[in-house]
């Protein structure tokens, strides 16, 4: 088995390494995991679990509290700005072997 290691650069800055064989295996495993997770959440048990989790979050007031805090602090735009400036979306896509936006 050969492995190609490439230093990944973005705007002249090193952002990580690519290990070709691991990336391909990660893509395969990710696809399998995603399929299994979707199957679970769409199953009768998964739907019941999702409903129970949502009920617990709202019944306890936790969900409303988090939404209120995020709104009061203006966190939505701040999270988006942080993600955009770090280009985290493309970095995650790169690591998962998905196409990266230019």
What is the per-residue pLDDT for 15? 64
What is the per-residue pLDDT for 1? 40
Within-domain flag for 52: yes
Q: Is the pLDDT of residue 60 over 70?
A: yes
CB atoms within 10 A of CB 37: 11
Within-domain flag for 102: no
Within-domain flag for 42: yes
Report the percent of the chain where pLDDT is more than 70: 83
* pLDDT one-digit tens code per residue, 9-41: 777 776 666 666 677 788 889 899 999 999 999
- Report d(CA 93, CA 87) in Å as an integer: 10
3-state secondary structure of 96: helix
Q: Flag whether the pTM goes above 0.75.
A: no
Tell me which of 52 and 95 has the higher pLDDT: 52
Q: Provide the number of structural domains found in the chain.
A: 1
Average pLDDT, the chain: 84
Q: What are phi and psi of 5, to 5 degrees?
A: -110, 125
Within-domain flag for 101: no
- Report d(CA 83, CA 88) in Å as an integer: 5
Q: At what angle do helices 20-42 and 88-96 cross, to 10 degrees?
A: 100
Residue found under tokens 């942080």? 82
């Amino acid at each position: 088995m050969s492995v190609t290691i490439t230093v990944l650069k973005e705007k002249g800055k090193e952002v990580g390494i690519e290990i070709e064989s691991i990336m391909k295996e990660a893509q395969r495993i990710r696809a399998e995991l995603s399929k299994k997770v979707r199957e679970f959440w769409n199953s009768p048990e998964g739907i019941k679990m999702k409903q129970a989790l949502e009920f617990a979050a709202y019944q306890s007031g936790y969900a409303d509290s988090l939404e209120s805090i995020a709104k009061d602090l203006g966190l939505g735009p701040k999270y988006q700005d942080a993600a955009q400036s770090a280009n985290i979306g493309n970095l995650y896509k790169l690591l998962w072997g998905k196409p990266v936006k230019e």
